[in-house]
Amino acid sequence: MSLRPLIAWQFGELVELVHETPRVSSLYFNIPMWPGHLAGQHVDVRLTAEDGYQAERSYSIASPPEARWVALTVERLDDGEVSPYLVGELKVGDKVELRGPIGGHFVWRAGDDRPLLLVAGGSGVVPLMAMLRHRATAPRKAPARLLYSSRALADIIYREEIDRLVAANDGLFVSHTLTREKPAGWSGYTRRIDAAMVKEVAWPKAQTPAVFVCGPTPFVETAADLLVGLEYDPLWIKTERFGATGGPGGG
């Protein structure tokens, strides 16, 4: 029996498509009956073939609650059933079936004054970006830190926008680590996340931060274990993980 809420499917029309990296695109949908969402929630997307075969996947919402359109940022997986169509074939004006918003645990609301710690692996940055965009519109901004692990510079999703958010100088600090390719002049980290890196980036435990970790399952487990090793209360740490066909961000 499904534990997901009984939310009706509806059609969203693609109004804009933005190429974020060679394999990742953001798709902006007009959903007329959209009820609104919280930063960190996700939607289900369903495709139906001419023969009636259906494929369904979950994707995190990238847009903040204040945005006009609902944005999904999708990484194309070559062996996926849904992402190759969304990223490679969908055109402005096309419609797809969506259901949401879904999820009430992995959410952040502006007005929470606790320091915010975000830890992202790859496309796990998507729901965290919704939080940062939401934060950017708030009159009172909680101090925030993002630790973002990518394979290479070209794989950093939202790189220019993240730089602009940091340049606003409103209490957001971002640390990048590249795990495969290091460009000339790179000043960030150049390894997988480890205890020393997390200790340098994380807020002191005495500040009782709100923590959100998202990425592939092994990444999330490692990051959560490292934070617990810093004596973070496990109840502070909210996680969301995905696999090839798993949770938000699947194929």
pLDDT band at 242 (very low <50, low <70, confident <90, very high): confident
pLDDT band at 244 (very low <50, low <70, confident <90, very high): very low
As beta bridge partners, residue 116 has 144, 210
Mean pLDDT of 49-61: 93
Please give the structure tokens belonging to residue 22: 């060679």
pLDDT digits (tens, 9 = 90+) for 101-160: 999 999 999 999 999 999 999 999 999 999 999 999 999 999 999 999 999 999 999 999
In this prediction, residue 204 carries a pLDDT of 95
In this prediction, residue 251 carries a pLDDT of 76
What is the residue extent of each domain of the chain?
10-102, 116-242
C-alpha pair distances (Å), 19 with each of 25, 157, 170, 171? 4, 10, 27, 28
pLDDT digits (tens, 9 = 90+) for 62-95: 999 999 999 999 999 988 899 999 999 999 999 9
> Which homologous superfamily is 10-102 in?
Translation factors (2.40.30.10)
Please give the structure tokens belonging to residue 67: 């945005």
Pairing status of strand 172-178 against strand 144-150: parallel
Q: Among 50-54, 162-166, 174-178, 198-202, name the one with the lowest average pLDDT.
A: 50-54
In this prediction, residue 1 carries a pLDDT of 38
Model confidence at 243: pLDDT above 80:
no
Using a cut of 0.75, tell me whether the model's pTM lies above it.
Answer: yes
Contact 47, 82 (CB under 8 A): yes
Contact 82, 55 (CB under 8 A): yes
In this prediction, residue 247 carries a pLDDT of 60
In this prediction, residue 78 carries a pLDDT of 87
Model confidence at 46: pLDDT above 70:
yes
pLDDT digits (tens, 9 = 90+) for 199-227: 999 999 999 999 999 999 999 999 999 99
CATH of domain 116-242: 3.40.50.80
